Amino acid sequence: MELASAVTQSYLTFRLDDELFATSVINVIEILELTRITKVPRSPSFMRGVINLRGTVLPVIDARQKFGLDKTPDTVNTCILVLNIQIDNEKLTVGALVDAVQEVLDIDISTIQPAPSIGSRYKSEFIDGMVKGNDKFIMLLNVSKVFSSEEVSILKEGYDMGENTSINQ
């Protein structure tokens, strides 16, 4: 993180339910429309399956489930964010199913507030910070951590609504 006040960073904002999230565009490869997802049997339910990304097979993770939201039917706005994430120094490409993609925002780094350790639903290690949008706070996510986490939900213990199983039995 640079300290210069004028330094901005681009973030892609997306929506889950009513909440806005953002991720650094560095992590984003592209945004896809929802296509048919092939379920892989006996995989955790937040793993929606695999899709065909121009000839390669891309695993898709349901961000809603990851964020402890109810499963809702997919809409026309449902998108797949193709993300580059880092697990144990290994680069990995995954798809994240989000309700809608908003826009690319240039965020002045200085405006980023630290994630509140109290009062947030989410575990602090997944949140890089918060920024105030038009009239809403936008959570800046650490997608590498969010989507590489083997935990089903990134909710805090108290908020955890999902099953308490891990990916690798």
CB nearer to another protein: pick between 25 and 121: 25
Amino acid at 7: V
Residue matched to tokens 């797949």 = 80
Residue 17 touches another protein, criterion: CB under 8 A: no
Residue 6 touches another protein, criterion: CB under 8 A: no
Residue 166 touches another protein, criterion: CB under 8 A: no
Residue 38 touches another protein, criterion: CB under 8 A: yes
In the complex, minimum distance from the CB of residue 70 to another protein, in angstroms, rounded to a whole number: 20
Residue 112 touches another protein, criterion: CB under 8 A: no
CB nearer to another protein: pick between 44 and 129: 44
Cβ proximity of 86 and 94 under 8 Å? no
In the complex, minimum distance from the CB of residue 77 to another protein, in angstroms, rounded to a whole number: 8
Residues lying near another protein in the complex (CB under 8 A) are found at 10, 12, 25-26, 28-33, 35-36, 38-43, 47, 49-52, 55-59, 61, 76, 79, 87, 90, 92-94, 101, 103-104, 106, 167-169
